[in-house]
Amino acid sequence: MTTAAAPSPFPEALKNAFVTALIALGLAAPMMGLVTVQVGGDLGLEPHCPRVAIAVALVFVGRLILNLTIWRPGRVKKVTAISPKTERLLSKTARYLAPAAVAFAIILPFLPGVGRGQIDLGILVLTYVMLGWGLNIVVGLAGLLDLGYVAFYAVGAYSYALLAQNFGFSFWLCLPLAGILAALWGVMLGFPVLRLRGDYLAIVTLAFGEIIRLVLLNWQWFTGGPNGIGGIPKPSFFGIDFKTGPDGFAATFGLTFSPLHRIIFMYYLILALALITNYFVIRLRRLPIGRAWEALREDEIACRSLGVNTVNTKLTAFALGAMFAGFAGSFFATRQGFISPESFVFMESALILAIVVLGGMGSQFGVAVAALLMIGGFEWFREFQDYRLIIFGLVMVLIMVWRPRGLVSSRSPSVFLKEKKAISGSLVQEGHG
Amino acid sequence: MTALLSLEGVTAYYGSIAALKGVDVEVSEGEIVTLIGANGAGKSTLMMTIFGSPQARDGRIVYDGRDITRTPMHEIARLKIAQSPEGRRIFPRMSVLENLKMGAAVTQFAHYDEDLERMFAIFPRLKERAAQRGGTLSGGEQQMLAIARALMSRPRLLMLDEPSLGLAPLVAKQIFSVVKELNEKDGLTVFLVEQNAYHALKLAHRGYVMVNGKITMSGGGRELLEKPEVRAAYLEGGR
Ligand SMILES: Nc1ncnc2c1ncn2[C@@H]1O[C@H](COP(=O)(O)OP(=O)(O)OP(=O)(O)O)[C@@H](O)[C@H]1O
Ligand SMILES: [Mg+2]
């Protein structure tokens, strides 16, 4: 063999690992090395060296191993793009995957071993799937970075709670009202931010979300302030309540009463709402307005020069996105029976946005998978309360490293000549196109 | 001949900097009019000012007997003026077909299928690439797409900003001959901004020369081509 005497990568790797370990030391020393303790009524700090040592050693060894294996210099990097063939296969299976997932969701409550806990989790996941699909209109399609989406969720929830409490309106009447009110707020947010894009838009929407929350918190006589609103009525099944009496759901249908009936009903309700959202978003994408959203995301000036009224286009995106959050919000209110501003913090907006981004902006199926992963994962790790956010962050970073454009990054065009062709997202450079 | 488009004393500013300092231009129906000038002269600004961004501060822009000086851009587009702007500005993540469909939005897709066939006949390359992302097309293909997208709106007036930029001479020639054909066959009025003064002036019926935000010369295309000042400044001593 005639290998050129390549310089040993070892010293370089060692040096690099050492630097990394130093950074780890800098981070770990204050964060893990100092523990707050009670010192006779006062708060004191106690150094905790072994923990720091272990952390630093782990980082050093880990980095060294990585440097000598995966990150070895000169290692031929595999093209991360999935080959067109597999991409085609994936999109083919994806076509069956989505109906399969819907079918699974429909039979879920009756599968053996599925109890109240699982159905509750299903309701939670579906709520976020719906929110993700709604936000997808604003962020994924229209490209407007909205960090205050939870505000519309809150508007929907409070609309239902207040209308039901003050006027005794039923859920079925409030649902559209909540959607309309949320859409109005969407337009209201839309107007001042018409000229903003990217970072600036993100900051204003973030502020908007906080303002709504603070108003809910401080408008004591109207919203109940921090005490929230309780005793929110449950929806009926086309006028039949879920109760024990002779005119209850169970008696009417000749079943023995079980509190599970209502839970299952709630599950199907949110499933239906989510599927309606999905249907609308898919339809909208094929309409001129949907194409205008996508074009707007790409190039606003070009859009206007083609006769697109960008003001209306943006406002419709905000309004429709908000409307679906409003629907989801009134569902949330009726499911919980109690709402308070605490349910509508920035973390929720961040979570929904993370679902959209991780799912691959614009991909409906990806968003659903991301919601399942994030919310399901979140619940799964409930026992490790303290580490949940760390794991959450880690998973996000890993997904973004592995698939920088989200789980499902191929975007299928909305206009075809003869056959559908998915455009692979991984073949296009980041930041462009 | 009455003018389809006329500008009278148009000025435009970027902040406090004047980019156009009183421009008079006329384009008659069925004409090809070209605007040439050095980098930074204000050619692209003039084209965008006609489209309302930046809006003209003084002066009047009249199109088809209608004052459009203060009309918003999207409404101007609905008056059957189309442009292929500087830098092409196609939608990079959308497919070629979607880009073309966006172009037909102003006509409510009334002639979409028919026009699509026509575009594919003019630019067969676009048909081959119909499902490809706009952003992954070559420069020349992108230029074809930008022009085709503009044509999808069935304009009366087509404005092109440097369609030959960055194209191989042969492709540039092809684009120019397409423009000529559209003008001769369909009577399309064309306003052409170009760096490639030789080809532009040869193609155009009339031309304007812009220096520093002002029109300094105008005349027939061939006539300008013969002028020593034009030859010296824009044709590197002729070809
Ligand atoms: N958005 C803007 N903000 C500030 N100044 C601008 C802006 N756009 C253009 N300018 C300035 O206006 C002047 C005219 O620019 P314009 O783009 O119209 O030139 P041009 O004739 O098209 O040049 P080129 O042939 O290089 O495209 C230039 O000095 C330019 O720097
Ligand atoms: Mg220019």
Q: Count CB neighbours of B222 within 10 A.
A: 12
Q: What is the CA radius of gyration of chain A?
A: 26
Contacts of B133 in chain A (CB under 8 A): 423, 428, 433
Q: What is the largest CA-CA distance in chain A?
A: 90
Instruction: Tell the residue nearest (CA) to atom 18 of ligand 1.
Output: B42
Contacts of B78 in chain A (CB under 8 A): 307
- Closest Cβ opposite residue A299 in set B89, B132, B133: B89
Contact A173, A345 (CB under 8 A): no
> From the CA of B135, how far away is ligand 1's center (Å)?
24
Interface touch B93/A416, C-beta < 8 Å:
no
Interface touch B95/A417, C-beta < 8 Å:
no
Instruction: Tell the residue nearest (CA) to atom 9 of ligand 1.
Output: B45
Distance from chain centroid for Cα A4 = 51
Interface test with A, best of B78, B88, B95 (most A CBs within 10 A): B95
Q: Is the CB of B34 under 6 A from ligand 1?
A: no
User: Please, which residues 195-234 of chain B have a Cβ atom closer than 8 Å to chain A?
Assistant: none
pTM of the model: 0.82
pLDDT tens per residue, range B62-106: 999 999 999 999 999 999 999 999 988 999 999 999 999 999 998
Nearest Cα neighbor of B198 from B157, B155, B233, B168 is B233
pLDDT for residue A76: 61
Q: What atom in ligand 1 is closest to the CA of residue B45?
A: 18
Q: Is the CB of B39 under 6 A from ligand 1?
A: yes
DSSP annotation of A414 reads S
Q: Are strands B157-161 and A34-39 parallel, antiparallel or unpaired?
A: unpaired
In angstroms, what CA-CA distances link B39 with B190, B207, B219? Answer: 21, 17, 21
Low-confidence residues of chain B, pLDDT below 70? 1, 236-239
Interface touch A295/B94, C-beta < 8 Å:
yes
Nearest Cα neighbor of A29 from A52, A46, A61, A53 is A52
Cis omega (within 30 of 0) for bond into A99: no
> From the CA of B42, how far away is ligand 1's center (Å)?
6
Smallest CA–CA separation between A292 and chain B, in Å?
7
Smallest CA–CA separation between A191 and chain B, in Å?
17
Q: What atom in ligand 1 is closest to the CA of residue B15?
A: 4
Contact A340, A228 (CB under 8 A): yes
Give helix A260-286 / helix A310-336 axis angle, nearest 10°.
170
In tens digits, what is the pLDDT along chain A, a chain of 433 residues? 444 555 677 888 888 889 989 998 998 888 888 887 877 777 788 888 888 888 899 999 998 888 887 777 666 655 455 566 776 776 677 678 888 889 999 998 888 888 888 899 999 999 999 999 999 999 989 999 999 999 999 999 999 999 998 898 989 999 999 999 999 999 998 888 888 877 888 899 999 999 999 999 999 888 888 999 998 888 877 777 777 777 777 777 877 777 888 889 999 999 999 999 999 999 999 999 999 999 999 999 999 999 999 999 999 999 999 999 999 999 999 999 999 999 999 989 999 999 998 888 778 888 998 899 888 877 777 777 777 777 778 877 887 787 777 777 767 777 777 544 455 444 444 433 3
Contact A118, A292 (CB under 8 A): no
In angstroms, what CA-CA distances link A223 with A186, A213, A216? Answer: 20, 11, 6
- Closest Cβ opposite residue A307 in set B53, B101, B153: B153
DSSP annotation of A375 reads I
Contacts of B136 in chain A (CB under 8 A): 428, 433
Nearest Cα neighbor of A318 from A159, A199, A193 is A193
pLDDT for residue B112: 92
Smallest CA–CA separation between A290 and chain B, in Å?
11
Smallest CA–CA separation between B122 and chain A, in Å?
17
Interface test with A, best of B47, B89, B143 (most A CBs within 10 A): B89
Contacts of B105 in chain A (CB under 8 A): 288, 291-292, 306-308
Nearest Cα neighbor of B131 from B164, B175, B169, B98 is B98
DSSP line for A130-199:
HHHHHHHIIIIIS----S-THHHHHHHHHHHHHHHHHH---HHHHHHHHHHHHHHHHHHHHTTTTT--HH
- Closest Cβ opposite residue A415 in set B73, B78, B97: B97
pLDDT for residue A7: 60
Q: Is the CB of B37 under 6 A from ligand 1?
A: yes
> From the CA of A351, how far away is ligand 2's center (Å)?
44
How far is A291 from B94, CA to CA, in rounded Å?
Answer: 9
Smallest CA–CA separation between A425 and chain B, in Å?
9
Contact residues for A10 (Cβ-Cβ < 8 A; gap 6+): A68
Interface touch A295/B74, C-beta < 8 Å:
no
Contact residues for A46 (Cβ-Cβ < 8 A; gap 6+): A34, A35, A36, A37
Contact B102, A295 (CB under 8 A): yes
